[in-house]
Chains A and B, each alone.
Chain A
Amino acid sequence: MRNKFADVFFEESKKNKKLGLVVADISPAGSIEKFRKSFPKRFINTGVAEQIMIGMCAGMAQQGMRMVAYTIATFSLYRPFEFVRDDICYQNLPITIVGIGGGVTYSTLGATHHAQEDISIATSLPNMQVICPADPLETEAATKWCLKKSKKPTYLRLGKAGEYNFTKISNEKWSFGKIRLIKKGKNIAILSVGTVIKIAFDIINKSKNNLKDSSVYSFSTIKPFDTKTLKKIFKNYKRIIVIEESSGSGTVSSQLKAFAQEQRYFGKINTFNLKDEFIHVYGSHDDILKSHELTFKKIIRKIK
């Protein structure tokens, strides 16, 4: 996903001379390095200094440039939080804040590098749009939208590298603000947020019962919240499952439950999120998801 973002950004930067990128001592993936070489003035590395990364982005945007801030998710959103809130959101500037390694992707680096609450935090900010693509293909579409169309602040949560393109089988195009049907089934609507879409596909590919014939949706825009499509989903399914690699209020799970209550949806809803805990466990990404009980096996057991 990182590389896809970088490719799109580099291509776009050749066409739009006002496009700039600010990083805080993060080695730029693939094409970002090319961008840096081609347009050194529009690439800024503030060093290990995240507040000025956000501050400069805001100032440059006010002068008319189209700016992107880019670093590890915890450091792009948490460290400079009040700068994001006041400089970017309060002033409503069309800046994209990219958070790399959202969720617990940085599995051996521990809680200081885990963005568990980023979705919750980002959705709580007025004016902020929140996008969490499922795979490189959605990253491509979302990045293009952020760089060309967006008129407001956006938090773009990405994974790391090597994600499989689960959404390539979809008949629907990615579009901002819309829940997207990836695979159609009859029984259950599985709404997945971000790269955990792989668990959604495990459910339909590996389970033996009627779960096999479920629909998979990519819930990639979390804010604004797509209530229109949700109403249709409420109408068409008796059971909804949400899978997302984040915790707290403002996540799809919590927003969906509140909306279901409001709409008097009488079906079943099961939500699977990260725990509201700092888990002192290291290992692979899957190991950490396992300790948060966010795995195919655990989910299957619970929805039987």
Chain B
Amino acid sequence: MNNYLASIKRCKIYRKKILLLSKKLSALHIAPAFSCIEIVDFIYSKFINKKENIFIMSKGHASIIQYIVLNEKGLISNKELDRFCKPNGILGTHPDYGTPGIYASTGSLGHGAGLAVGRAYAKKVMKQKGFVICLLSDGELQEGSTWEAVMMAANKKLDNLIFFVDNNDFSGLERMSVSHKAFYPIDKKFSSFGWQTFKVNGHNYNQINNCFKKKNLKPKVIICKTIKGKGVSFMENVPIWHYRSPNEKELITALKELDNEK
């Protein structure tokens, strides 16, 4: 099976697993996770198979997809996954530094970029191999702290730094293209700060992969056009699913939809 088809297969399984977990918790942040499943899957299959590469999940509220992948990889047990957000477990809504496979405690938005720049720069200082990868939500690009990091990365010519932006056009409250028009264009902002910039369909493995053909001495950002809640029609682009978990009926409908998808 080629990489593209294999990714589709994996992501379908991930979506189902997340939906099934939602039975245990009323606030699972499903839509934020569904938005970036293909991106996270790409990052893990392409980069986090090597020890020297590092992945910071800056949009920490979507950690559930990270836990699911880490579970597949054997770093997080089924038992822990079952105890998600329970008093005797180790997994909470946001990633916690020290949990196996988690590189940074995030959850407050706009912190991952700075941590990633620090790690990438330290790699240079200490002559270490490997990339530092950071997944940001588009909401995080509203934080000033993110742009401080973006500027610093270019100052230090961090060609070992890769940002993925999950550009679903939604923050928690509303559609950015409607409420905050000056938010766009994103790509020009990054390139004027000295970054190598790409714009792709964030649900497509091949398009993401194509960004890694050419070498370049700049930090790299891949702006991924995505759909918040992608995969379940009634969750797509509907703000309440930022937070909410489905009820029994909705769960069955959602699982059916995923099964019928080609």
| A and B bind | yes
Ordered nearest first, which 4 A-B pairs have the shortest CB separation?
A112-B107, A283-B87, A47-B142, A48-B139
B130: CB under 8 A from chain A?
no
- Identify the closest chain B residue to A111 (Cβ): B105
Contact status of A109 and B143, CB under 8 A, knowing A47-B176, A287-B87, A291-B87: no
User: Can you sample 12 A-B contacts with CB below 8 Å?
Assistant: A45-B179, A46-B142, A47-B171, A48-B171, A49-B143, A74-B108, A108-B27, A108-B85, A110-B94, A112-B94, A112-B106, A282-B93
B92: CB under 8 A from chain A?
yes
Bitwise interface map of B from 65 to 105 toward A, beta carbon under 8 Å scored 1, else 0: 00000000000000000000111011111101010000001
A113: CB under 8 A from chain B?
yes
| Segment 174-199 of B: residues with Cβ below 8 Å from A | 174, 176, 179-180, 183
Cross-chain contact A283 with B85 (CB below 8 angstroms): yes
- Taken together as a complex, chains A and B put the C-alpha atoms of A110 and B94 apart, in Å, by 7
A272: CB under 8 A from chain B?
no
Residues of A within 8 A of B (CB): 23, 25-27, 45-52, 74-75, 79, 108-113, 280-283, 287, 290-291
| Segment 124-140 of B: residues with Cβ below 8 Å from A | 139-140
B177 to chain A minimum Cβ distance, whole angstroms, is 12
- Identify the closest chain B residue to A45 (Cβ): B173
Point out the residues of chain A lying under 8 angstroms from B239, CB to CB. 27
Contact status of A282 and B85, CB under 8 A, knowing A48-B110, A111-B105: yes
Interface residues of B, dominant DSSP: loop
Contact of A108 among B92, B96, B173 (CB under 8 A): B92
Point out the residues of chain A lying under 8 angstroms from B25, CB to CB. 108
Cross-chain contact A45 with B107 (CB below 8 angstroms): no
- Identify the closest chain A residue to B84 (Cβ): A282
Bitwise interface map of B from 142 to 177 toward A, beta carbon under 8 Å scored 1, else 0: 111000000000000000000000000001111010
Contact status of A25 and B172, CB under 8 A, knowing A109-B92, A280-B90: yes
- Taken together as a complex, chains A and B put the C-alpha atoms of A47 and B170 apart, in Å, by 10
B53 to chain A minimum Cβ distance, whole angstroms, is 25
Contact status of A110 and B140, CB under 8 A, knowing A45-B179, A291-B87: no
Point out the residues of chain B lying under 8 angstroms from A109, CB to CB. 92-94, 107
B171 to chain A minimum Cβ distance, whole angstroms, is 5
Point out the residues of chain A lying under 8 angstroms from B172, CB to CB. 25-27, 48
- Identify the closest chain A residue to B90 (Cβ): A280
B67 to chain A minimum Cβ distance, whole angstroms, is 13
Contact of A48 among B85, B107, B142 (CB under 8 A): B142
Point out the residues of chain A lying under 8 angstroms from B92, CB to CB. 108-110, 280, 282
Cross-chain contact A48 with B109 (CB below 8 angstroms): yes
Point out the residues of chain A lying under 8 angstroms from B89, CB to CB. 282
A160 to chain B minimum Cβ distance, whole angstroms, is 12
- Identify the closest chain A residue to B28 (Cβ): A108
Point out the residues of chain A lying under 8 angstroms from B60, CB to CB. 112
Point out the residues of chain A lying under 8 angstroms from B140, CB to CB. 48
- Identify the closest chain A residue to B179 (Cβ): A45
- Taken together as a complex, chains A and B put the C-alpha atoms of A160 and B86 apart, in Å, by 20
- Taken together as a complex, chains A and B put the C-alpha atoms of A48 and B171 apart, in Å, by 8
A114 to chain B minimum Cβ distance, whole angstroms, is 10
- Taken together as a complex, chains A and B put the C-alpha atoms of A50 and B139 apart, in Å, by 12
Point out the residues of chain A lying under 8 angstroms from B173, CB to CB. 23, 25-27, 45
- Taken together as a complex, chains A and B put the C-alpha atoms of A32 and B120 apart, in Å, by 43
Cross-chain contact B108 with A51 (CB below 8 angstroms): no
Cross-chain contact B144 with A49 (CB below 8 angstroms): yes
Cross-chain contact A45 with B105 (CB below 8 angstroms): no
- Taken together as a complex, chains A and B put the C-alpha atoms of A280 and B94 apart, in Å, by 11
- Taken together as a complex, chains A and B put the C-alpha atoms of A50 and B143 apart, in Å, by 8
- Taken together as a complex, chains A and B put the C-alpha atoms of A74 and B94 apart, in Å, by 15
- Identify the closest chain B residue to A287 (Cβ): B87
- Identify the closest chain A residue to B140 (Cβ): A48
- Taken together as a complex, chains A and B put the C-alpha atoms of A49 and B179 apart, in Å, by 14
Point out the residues of chain A lying under 8 angstroms from B87, CB to CB. 281-283, 287, 290-291
Point out the residues of chain A lying under 8 angstroms from B174, CB to CB. 45
- Identify the closest chain B residue to A74 (Cβ): B108
Contact status of A47 and B180, CB under 8 A, knowing A27-B172, A112-B108: yes
